[in-house]
Amino acid sequence: MMDDYAYLLSLAKRTSNSTPMTDATVSATATNASCGDSCTVSLKVANGVIQEVSFEATGCVIGRASAAVVVGQIGQSAITPWAIASLGQITGKEIRELLGVAVSPLRERCLTTALNALQIAIAKIK
């Protein structure tokens, strides 16, 4: 278990230095009342392509580690319209599998807070 938490902590640290994007095209915040988690996703979009992504995640380790997993799904390169559509289809089950750590059902919403924020932001892209 401590190994699992060590892994989660290492993932969570990846989102701890995120900086807010001041010139985002769209942004969205999702919260998880049970843990007080909050994740804000900001996207810079040009010609239907995501050029830049910013995640600001606060809260529990699982919420912040999941945000890192979601960031990992986006990758570093520009996201095409096709890739944007696939991001919109990611499920909580996939995030759980990507995280690779057993999470109690009580923490289910911690897993999906960042994903919710991303998908709300994607839905705002015209």
Residues 104-123 that bind other proteins (CB under 8 A): 104, 107, 110
Cα torsion angle, 52, 57, 63, 64, sign: positive
Contact status: 1 vs other proteins (CB under 8 A): yes
Query: How many residues belong to the site for other proteins (CB under 8 A)?
Result: 15
Q: How many CB atoms lie within 10 A of CB 100?
A: 9
Residues 63-102 that bind other proteins (CB under 8 A): none
Q: Which residue has the tokens 């979009």?
A: 45
Residue with smaller CB distance to other proteins, 67 or 110: 110
Residue with smaller CB distance to other proteins, 6 or 46: 6
List the one residue out of 37, 56, 42 whose CA is nearest residue 111. Answer: 37
Q: Which residues are CB-contacts of 98 (< 8 A; sequence separation ≥ 6)?
A: 69, 72, 73
Contact status: 50 vs other proteins (CB under 8 A): no
Contact status: 34 vs other proteins (CB under 8 A): yes
Question: Which residue from 14, 25, 29, 35 is in contact with other proteins, where contact means CB under 8 A?
Answer: 35
Residue with smaller CB distance to other proteins, 5 or 87: 5
Q: Give the helix/strand (H/E) hosting 106.
A: none
Beta strands in 9-109 (DSSP E): 26-32, 37-46, 49-58
Contact status: 53 vs other proteins (CB under 8 A): no
Site for other proteins, rule CB under 8 A? 1-2, 5-6, 9, 34-36, 59-62, 104, 107, 110
